[in-house]
């Protein structure tokens, strides 16, 4: 398990990441459209803060105004505190249609005192089933933390406060579909999923604690905006879009392996019971 020194290093990295995000605060009115919830979603503080709420009648959600085809997307979230069992806070990139692409962060609620589960997944051409799940090394309800998706033609990297927790490489060379042709928007929602979210549905939502609220700030999209069939990056200089070819360096690989060793609680690539005829092809890549 993690040592106190290792945890302290990660917490320091988290704080640095949070401070850097504060320096680039955006006006959410310019980037986000509230899409559902009948007033349960709000943009506050002159566009600096967004909140989603869930009660017994409804949840709420938003989407980005722009579509993106590759990008580095950051958002700071503070999750539902207290007894959040049964609730799911979803934050993800997605295209539309039956063969959609999708890159998911989902935060599965908990009983007070138990850790949140961070659920991740990648869909390409309508096919997902690539879940990895983690505990976090901090309380995600006490303060804001930065959750990032780096998506480029080579790989998808999930980061928490700048620390990589998952990498999904482009494995088209061995026949694995990779999301690279469909533009995606950012979506987020807070909703009731007590049929499966907490201990497989054994723990139900306690509506005495409603309304449940998650908070968002400091959205940043260093990304290729897709509009009218063209990408904003097609004529941009390579120096301003270095993330388009970015991969994990050796230091980041070490941090990724450390997180996966100490905080990963499920990996589809080791679930032989789920895939009795053989693990998915990308699981055999080094």
Structural domains for the chain? 4-284 (2.60.120.200)
pLDDT of residue 197: 86
Pull the structure tokens for residue 81.
């505190």
Question: What are the backbone dihedrals phi and psi of residue 33, each rounded to the nearest 5 degrees, phi first?
Answer: -115, 125
Question: Which listed residue (106, 172, 247, 254) is catalytic?
Answer: 106
Note the helical H segments in 23-170: 28-31
Q: Other C-beta atoms within 10 Å of 89: how many?
A: 27
Confirm whether 67 is a catalytic residue.
no
What pTM does this model have? Answer: 0.89
- Greater model confidence, 112 or 170: 170
Pull the structure tokens for residue 162.
């700048």
23-46 tens-digit pLDDT:
445 699 999 999 999 999 999 999
pLDDT of residue 129: 95
Q: Is there a contact between 38 and 211 (Cβ–Cβ < 8 Å)? A: no
Q: Other C-beta atoms within 10 Å of 191: how many?
A: 19
The full length of the chain comes to: 286
Model confidence at 2, pLDDT cuts 50, 70, 90, reads low
Q: Other C-beta atoms within 10 Å of 11: how many?
A: 13
Helix (H, G, I), strand (E, B) or coil at 139: coil
% the chain with pLDDT above 90: 83
* Nearest to 68, CA basis, from 219, 238, 205: 219
Provide DSSP, 144-185. -EEEEEEE-SSEEEEEETTEEEEEEE--GGGT---S-SS-BE
Q: Is there a contact between 165 and 260 (Cβ–Cβ < 8 Å)? A: yes
147, β-bridge pairs: 75, 160
Question: Which listed residue (102, 131, 172, 282) is catalytic?
Answer: 102
Model confidence at 19, pLDDT cuts 50, 70, 90, reads very low
210-243 tens-digit pLDDT:
999 999 999 999 999 999 999 998 754 445 688 9
According to DSSP, the β-strands at 155-160 and 60-64 are unpaired
Confirm whether 131 is a catalytic residue.
no
């Amino acid at each position: 398990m993690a040592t106190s020194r290792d945890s302290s290093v990660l917490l320091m990295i988290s704080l640095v990441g949070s401070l850097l995000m504060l320096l680039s605060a955006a006006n959410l009115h310019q980037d986000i459209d509230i899409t559902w919830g009948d007033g349960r979603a709000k943009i506050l503080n002159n566009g600096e803060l967004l909140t989603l709420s869930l009660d017994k009648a409804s949840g709420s959600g938003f989407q980005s105004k722009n579509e993106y085809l590759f990008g580095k997307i950051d958002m700071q979230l503070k999750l539902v505190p207290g007894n959040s069992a049964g609730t799911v806070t979803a934050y993800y990139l997605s295209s539309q249609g039956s063969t959609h692409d999708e890159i998911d962060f989902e935060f599965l609620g908990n009983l007070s005192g138990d850790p949140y589960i961070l659920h991740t997944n990648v869909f390409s051409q309508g096919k997902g089933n690539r879940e990895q799940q983690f505990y976090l090394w901090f309380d995600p309800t006490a303060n804001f933390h930065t959750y990032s998706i780096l998506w480029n033609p080579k790989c998808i990297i999930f980061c928490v406060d700048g620390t990589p927790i998952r990498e999904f490489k482009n494995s088209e060379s061995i026949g694995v579909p990779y999301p690279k042709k469909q533009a995606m928007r950012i979506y987020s929602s807070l909703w009731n999923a007590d049929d499966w979210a907490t201990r497989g549905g054994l723990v139900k939502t306690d509506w005495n604690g409603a309304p449940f609220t998650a908070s968002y700030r400091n959205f940043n999209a260093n990304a290729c905006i897709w509009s009218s069939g063209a990408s904003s990056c097609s004529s941009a200089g390579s120096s301003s879009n270095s993330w388009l070819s970015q991969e994990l360096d050796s230091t980041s690989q070490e941090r990724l392996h450390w997180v996966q060793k100490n905080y990963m609680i499920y990996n589809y690539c080791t679930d032989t019971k789920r895939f009795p005829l053989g693990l998915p092809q990308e699981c055999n890549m080094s």
